[in-house]
Amino acid sequence: MATADPSSTTAAGLPAGIRARLRAYVPFQQMRPEHLDAFVDKAAARRHPAGTVILSPAHGVVSHLLVLLEGHVTGLGADQDGGTRFSFEPGDLFPVGAVMESRAVSSTYTAHDDVVCLHLPAAEVQALCAASTVFAAFMRDRVHQQLALSRQAMQASYATQALAEQSLETPLGQLALKPPVGVLPKTPLAQALQTMHDDKIGSMLVVDPAGAALGILTRHDILDRVVLARTPLESPIGTVMTAPIHTLTTQNTAQDAALLMSRHGIRHVPVTQDGTVVGVVSERDLFAMQRMSIRHVSAAIRGARDEAALVQSAQKIRTFARHLIGQGVAARQLTQLISHLNDLLTERLVEMQARLHGVDMRQACWLAFGSEGRSEQTISTDQDNGLVFLSEQPDVDRPRWLAFGRSVNEALDRCGYPLCKGNIMASNPQCCLTPQEWARRFDDWMEFGSPQDLLNANIYFDLRPLVGRADLAEQLRDGITRQAAALPRFAKQMADNARRHRVPLNWRGAIDTQSVDGREMVDLKHHGTAVFVDVARLYALALGVTAIGTRERFEAIGPRLHMSAPDSEAWIAAFEFLQMLRLQVQMGDTPLETANQVELESLNHIDRHMLKESFRVARRLLAKLERDYPS
């Protein structure tokens, strides 16, 4: 394969409509017209015949940034990509890292067929970075830039369904918060109530002389604690206020406030800075929605009196998720919110069925496994749960707990959470155990289990308490963490299982699809997110990290593995892009069997490029796993 001298033309000789063509690609579609003109004016179009080595380490420091216009370029990595192949399609820029760092490439780039590239001198790249913040941001971190653009495109497609424009990722300090109105604890009730009336506010903060929040009195509290209790109006407000009070800081996000309101059934949260209250965020501030908010959904779940009401609430959860996508909520926040609402619904069902079966949840704990345990549930999800119960005679008591578990599982199924095909449910005797039985089961898996045993057990290691005695679950988690860190054999077998994943990139590095009913599909879960979930779980357990969520695990293990911030951030960005793409697919109420499969041709240009980049990150992650745990 020889290196050829490509033919070259000036900007005037570029293919017709070059500016319009570039406008279809990232980052050119966001650049100002004068910056795009500067790129085109300084670039030269070059043709590279099929088989030509365009760039290689032997060429030395890279002198140009290339934009592929026609054809395909195949790359063969040396160190970074573990000797595997990757490919570029029209619209791709390369080699970004080498140009920005003024170094030689570490891979060999070859024209797969006859290709046309735009070549922009490295000096012009630096000048354009100085002039265009859009171009500079892309060159610094193309993965995160494409992820942001993908989210924007998805938000636009659901914007007409959205009931609010405020993103839940916004720090509370950036919201137009209501100014705090507070009084000292000794303030007479009459004075405080008059202030509430005059200022037309629904709550009164109680603060100390330094402005720190001590408590709160709401309109609801007034009816219960003042009117009905016949409390004298000359009484100090401190005697009837709600205390202690839940607060957040200006650094917390709107999502944090939404979850806090939902968990505690409150409508107002004081926001502090350096301990002093600087504002109050209300439910109305967070969700300027016409009909629905997270608190409305959670209130409907908590107030449900029968299973039929919970079936309706489950549908509201899915509708609410669609609205959140329209707000631009990211995958992590969205899956956390979905999991939180699913938790509430499960908790209510467990409470209902516990009363019917006469079981005492103070003697047991309902366990969440898998994606629910990690708080990463998407819209289309089945059940993964279990029970741990206290008993001196397990075989005598187990049938009662199994009957209870079966009732909950069947009720969840009627609410739209299908029964687990692998039978990982509380109705299975193997998932309904005492603490001692669970501990023995985990010990057997970790000390003596075969690779297949551990492959089947993976889901159990993402364990979280949901209803009942949380300490029973925490004891199991503590035992798992201690055992995992002390058993190299366990980590090795987990690594062997993780390596079974096949990243869907073909021999030249392009996305590999499977034909399903005549459509070219990609499985985003089994060939995508599962890679990140399994690798994050392995390293977390091996390093004694107690975090359960995949993002939190990556954040914790990155520094311990001495990974650079861009590398560990790329793991998170790729995982969360795949999660968001799964959610997008599931917006169409697809059957569970195909809820994680996306048709490649249905993706826009940004998402196709980001999908390929995410798979490349997954492949590099598996290559690292191979280096750390050789097969």
More confident residue, 212 or 2: 212
What pLDDT sits at residue 626? 93
pLDDT tens, residue by residue, 589-605: 667 678 899 999 888 87
Structure-token pair, residue 511: 């996305």
Angle, CA of 244, 245 and 250, to the nearest 5°: 140
Question: Is the per-residue pLDDT at 174 higher than 80?
Answer: no
DSSP bridge partners of 67: 93, 118
Question: Is the per-residue pLDDT at 88 higher than 60?
Answer: yes
DSSP H/E element including 598: strand 597-599
Q: Whole-angstrom Cα distance, residue 583 to residue 577?
A: 10
Where do we find the tokens 């670039």?
43
Averaged pLDDT for residues 121-128: 95
CA of residue 258 relative to chain centroid, distance: 17
Q: For residue 502, give the nearest of 462, 537, 530 by alpha carbon.
A: 530
Q: Whole-angstrom Cα distance, residue 213 to residue 254?
A: 19
pLDDT tens, residue by residue, 57-67: 999 999 999 99
Q: Whole-angstrom Cα distance, residue 570 to residue 525?
A: 18
Asked if residues 141 and 23 have their Cβ atoms less than 8 Å apart, the reply is no
Helix (H, G, I), strand (E, B) or coil at 286: helix
What pLDDT sits at residue 448? 86
What pLDDT sits at residue 332? 80
- All structural domains of the chain, each given as residue ranges with its CATH number in brackets, are 7-140 (2.60.120.10), 172-286 (3.10.580.10), 328-478 (3.30.460.10), 497-628 (1.20.120)
Cα–Cα distances (Å) from 422 to 224, 385, 456, 534, in that order, read 50, 11, 9, 18
pLDDT tens, residue by residue, 303-329: 888 998 999 899 888 888 877 776 667
What pLDDT sits at residue 154? 52
Q: Model confidence at 165, in pLDDT bands (50, 70, 90)?
A: very low
Q: Whole-angstrom Cα distance, residue 449 to residue 452?
A: 8
Q: Model confidence at 143, in pLDDT bands (50, 70, 90)?
A: low
CA atoms lying within 13 Å on the CB side of residue 441: 18
Q: Whole-angstrom Cα distance, residue 587 to residue 595?
A: 9
Q: Model confidence at 9, in pLDDT bands (50, 70, 90)?
A: very low
What pLDDT sits at residue 161? 40
pLDDT tens, residue by residue, 245-271: 999 999 998 888 888 888 888 888 999
Q: Show Cβ contacts of residue 272 under 8 Å, excluding neighbours closer than 6 positions.
A: 212, 213, 247, 248, 249, 250, 278
- The winner for highest mean pLDDT among 76-80, 447-451, 551-555 is 551-555
The dihedrals phi and psi of 209, each to the nearest 5 degrees, come to -60, -25
Question: Is the per-residue pLDDT at 3 higher than 50?
Answer: no
Q: Whole-angstrom Cα distance, residue 272 to residue 511?
A: 48
Question: Is the per-residue pLDDT at 82 higher than 70?
Answer: no
Q: For residue 192, give the nearest of 211, 210, 218, 213 by alpha carbon.
A: 218
Share of the chain above pLDDT 90, in %: 54
Angle, CA of 499, 553 and 620, to the nearest 5°: 40
Q: Is 275 left (phi over 0), alpha (psi -120 to 50) or beta?
A: left
pLDDT tens, residue by residue, 472-504: 999 999 999 998 888 888 999 999 999 999 899
pLDDT tens, residue by residue, 538-590: 999 999 999 999 999 999 999 999 998 888 888 999 999 999 899 888 876 66
Cα–Cα distances (Å) from 186 to 194, 217, 246, 297, 499, in that order, read 15, 13, 21, 37, 65
